[in-house]
Amino acid sequence: MAESVELPSRLGILPFRNKVLLPGAIIRIRCTSSSRGVAARALHLSRGVEKPSGRVTYIVVLEGLCRFSVQELSAKGTYYTAKVSRLDMTKPELELAEQDPELITLSRQFKATAMELISVLEQKQKTVGRTKVLLETVPVHRLADIFVASFEISFEEQLSMLDSVDLKVRLSKANELVERHLQSIRVAEKITQKVEGQLSKSQKEFLLRQQMRAIKEELGDNDDDEDDVATLERKMQSAGMPPNVWKHAHRELRRLRKMQPQQPGYSSSRVYLELLADLPWQKASQERELNLRAAKDRLDSVHYGLTKVKQRIIEYLAVRKLKPDAQGPVLCFVGPPGVGKTSLASSIAAALGRKFIRISLGGVKDEADIRGHRRTYIGSMPGRLIEGLKRAGVNNPVMLLDEIDKTGSDVRGDPASALLEVLDPEQNKTFNDQVKPIPPPLLDRMEVIELPGYTPEEKLKIAMQHLIPKVLDQHGLSSDYLQIPEDMVEFVIQRYTREAGVRNLERKLAALARAAAVKVAEQQHTIPLSKEEPPITTSLLDTRLAEGTEIEMEVMPMSVNDHEISNAIRSTSVLIVDEPMLEKVLGPPIFDDRETLERIVAPGITVGLVWTSFGGEVQFVEATTMAGKGELQLTGQLGDVIKESAHLALAWVRARAADLKLSDAGEINLLENRDVHIHFPAGAVPKDGPSAGVTLVTSLVSLFSQKKVRADTAMTGEMTLRGLVLPVGGIKDKVLAAHRYGIKRVILPERNLKDLVEIPQAVLAGMEILLAKRIEDVLEQAFEGGSPWKQQSKL
């Protein structure tokens, strides 16, 4: 209890602006000062609701312990401390003082008034029992403080109570205040009784609301909440919601008004209303008159090549121009990473004069991510599309739903079906997609536009015309300071990247630009560094460059702006990228043409061409045998279709074993007591589809005949049980992949001949394309020195 409080000689000081804490009392403060104060113990600290302005109120519950006076105040960091001396009496002093007859009379008087107050309150509330107990157990001087603190008195009166160090003064003052309070309760009661019967419902509601407000204020709870709710209402009114939404929102607002901020459901209700008020119900980008010529020019200026795709986009825009409210198709861009899907979509938005937003759906498994959670769910959030609209701030943006193929379904529902619902009646949405496993009903609503990968020549043009100017600009450079010659770009394409798109190429060029910016800026020493930043020294940079790693770190101090950089660089001679610089910045080349040679080390290994989410790819297939029960083991993240192809291939080869020129080892391998193990390396990439058929047969024939296949040859094609080779998809991408790996011979199904027209001459010129109708044709071409068959096939 307070009497036993040991007061330290120094205390942290909390200045109060409009409230006084009396010893024994417990108050909640909203924070804010006199040379007198009360030592307090913090009982509880809680964090209030965050305001839309970002302001957070903290509520501290304090228990007053004893009066003190400030001897010396000093500021320590952001708060004050003070040297204090105790004002309230110590226990022995009190015991002595209590002998005073005058004090005894005063005490009795006070207790009687307090008792009277309690009995009046008792008729109204049931919670006064505890106060009664206080009256019997707590020393009277302390009671005076506690009682006065329990009702509303002016700040000045509170201050004078605080100043009443003398017990007699304190008791008579408290007596007076309690008496006054008692009177006011009685008067109020009389008035209430008179008025009550005459109040209408709405008046009552108003009165109650006013009282609630006063109570909240008293509790330190008002927190501008009332004002906040009023602000929210104003915001809602100006959001321009359609009438049905407004009706619903208004009902919710009424509910919110009746709630306490601490009440469950308050914050979810509030977040919900904030969202409703924030949505761009009426705000739309002003769509400008669509100029097809300008749109085409823009597409051409931002994108190299892609003629067919651009043509399709212009057609789409033309239809929109003629019939703006037509149920437009949802465009679905399919292609490997970095082929320009996102930038095409943003060009469509620019052509339409609308805002562009990209929403990634990758990894969405929960239907609620699309549809939004139930509002009552704790931590509920709006769906990604609504969130996107809010972010866009307009109700007619062009939306790019990225990675739609990467949504999955589980117990939490099926996002694809939610998407279907969202997209079906809608229009003007652009879709982005990378591979095809999009559920058919969803795919049905979209117009698929394929973007194949680029040839090295196309990449070179894209780099020279688009990527280099863009990257230089992003780094505050220009061709006056950094030049990357064509042959160096070609070198980067061939030796540092092996991708269908140009994403990594762009990254490598950016790494060169970063290194150049640092070097150039460093030569000048004119960039003022901020105080905290140690100056960039030559040795640091050189070691980073010498490490051969890509410089990921942004070395420019944040305080340096583009203007300063260009000033700094202006007088520097132009930096021309050469091979040593490439090696310094990007490290030693990562890729070369020898990979297939190095990997075709034993019979049983074949080079296949496949289609993955990264576009066309070269896929090695490795077959081997080991002791077992004649079973087929398959590894490398394979889908059902590819597994079936493997069983089919093994069945086919075993059926024709008699025709094979087998080595001794091959004879053994064919035995029924050995397992055949086929592995597809790059185990992290899921693989499926029928086009590995011919590759699998070739691997098995190579294994059983113990003849190595040609390392310069890659193949693709589905096969039938009868040995026919069927055509497969993605031929252009697959041939481009072979080209990237420096593979010179490609075996394709004969019926894919028509697809070759899509492949640029520059790529075909350096390649030998072999067409196969039957699996024997493939085998004939795949091995050094001809077919592994005993008799030449009769083709």
Ligand X SMILES: Nc1ncnc2c1ncn2[C@@H]1O[C@H](COP(=O)(O)OP(=O)(O)OP(=O)(O)O)[C@@H](O)[C@H]1O
Q: Which residues bind ligand X (CB under 6 A)?
A: 303-306, 335, 337-343, 434, 462, 466, 501-503, 506
Contacts of 156 by beta carbon, 8 Å cutoff, 6+ apart: none
Alpha carbon distances (Å) from 745 to 62, 113, 138, 213, 603: 83, 108, 100, 84, 19
Residue 335 in marked binding region = yes
Q: What DSSP string describes 717-748?
A: -EE-TT-BEEP-S-HHHHHHHHHHTT--EEEE
The minimum distance between CB 697 and ligand X, in angstroms, equals: 34
Measured in whole angstroms, the distance separating CA 55 from the mean position of its chain's CA atoms is 24
The minimum distance between CB 368 and ligand X, in angstroms, equals: 25
The minimum distance between CB 32 and ligand X, in angstroms, equals: 54
The minimum distance between CB 398 and ligand X, in angstroms, equals: 14
Residue of minimal Cβ distance to ligand X: 340
d(CA 63, CA 145): 12
Is the CB of 466 or the CB of 687 nearer to ligand X?
A: 466
Residue 695 in marked binding region = no
CA-closest candidate to residue 280, choices 309, 306, 241, 245: 241
Q: Which two tokens stand for residue 400?
A: 């790019």
The minimum distance between CB 449 and ligand X, in angstroms, equals: 12
The minimum distance between CB 359 and ligand X, in angstroms, equals: 12
Q: Which two tokens stand for residue 302?
A: 């931002």
Residue 264 in marked binding region = no
Residue 337 in marked binding region = yes
Angle between helices 579-586 and 486-495 (to 10 degrees): 40
Strand pairing partners for 26? Answer: 63
Is the CB of 354 or the CB of 710 nearer to ligand X?
A: 354
The minimum distance between CB 536 and ligand X, in angstroms, equals: 28
Q: What DSSP string describes 209-234?
A: HHHHHHHHHHTT--TTHHHHHHHHHH
The minimum distance between CB 463 and ligand X, in angstroms, equals: 9
Q: Which of 508, 687, 734, 787 is catalytic?
A: 734
Is the CB of 507 or the CB of 654 nearer to ligand X?
A: 507
d(CA 608, CA 697): 11
Is the CB of 358 or the CB of 674 nearer to ligand X?
A: 358
Is the CB of 233 or the CB of 300 nearer to ligand X?
A: 300
Which amino acid makes up residue 596? T
Burial group, residue 112, by CB count within 10 angstroms (0-12, 13-18, 19+):
exposed
d(CA 577, CA 549): 17
Which amino acid makes up residue 263? Q
Q: Which two tokens stand for residue 711?
A: 């390392």
Is the CB of 37 or the CB of 335 nearer to ligand X?
A: 335
Residue 464 has phi, psi (to 5 degrees) of -65, -40
CA-closest candidate to residue 505, choices 494, 497, 516: 497
Annotated catalytic, 46?
Answer: no
The minimum distance between CB 653 and ligand X, in angstroms, equals: 39
d(CA 649, CA 572): 64
Strand pairing partners for 481? Answer: none
Is the CB of 225 or the CB of 506 nearer to ligand X?
A: 506
With tokens 């762009």, the residue in question is 506
Annotated catalytic, 734?
Answer: yes
Is the CB of 144 or the CB of 449 nearer to ligand X?
A: 449
Q: Cβ atoms within 10 A of the Cβ of 575, count?
A: 20
d(CA 786, CA 795): 14
Is the CB of 504 or the CB of 566 nearer to ligand X?
A: 504
The minimum distance between CB 479 and ligand X, in angstroms, equals: 18
d(CA 795, CA 790): 15
Is the CB of 143 or the CB of 330 nearer to ligand X?
A: 330
Is the CB of 434 or the CB of 596 nearer to ligand X?
A: 434
Per-residue DSSP letter, 404 = G
Q: Which two tokens stand for residue 196?
A: 């009550």
Is the CB of 349 or the CB of 701 nearer to ligand X?
A: 349
Alpha carbon distances (Å) from 324 to 289, 301, 327, 345, 550: 11, 26, 9, 18, 48
Residue 730 in marked binding region = no
Q: What DSSP string describes 413-473?
A: B-HHHHHHHHHTT--SEEEEESSS---HHHHHTEEEEE--PPPHHHHHHHIIIIIHHHHHH
| Element housing 113 (H / E) | helix 101-124
The minimum distance between CB 641 and ligand X, in angstroms, equals: 25
d(CA 285, CA 213): 42
d(CA 348, CA 398): 8
Contacts of 136 by beta carbon, 8 Å cutoff, 6+ apart: none
Q: Which of 164, 347, 691, 702 is catalytic?
A: 691
Per-residue DSSP letter, 383 = -
d(CA 218, CA 669): 90
The minimum distance between CB 587 and ligand X, in angstroms, equals: 22
How many residues can be counted in the chain? 795
Residue 328 in marked binding region = no
Strand pairing partners for 431? Answer: 332, 401
Cβ pair 77, 7 in contact under 8 A: no
Q: Which two tokens stand for residue 242?
A: 């359609």
Q: Cβ atoms within 10 A of the Cβ of 125, count?
A: 9
| SS3 assignment, position 40 | strand
Active site residues: 691, 734
Binding-site positions = 335-342
Binding site feature residues for ATP: 335-342
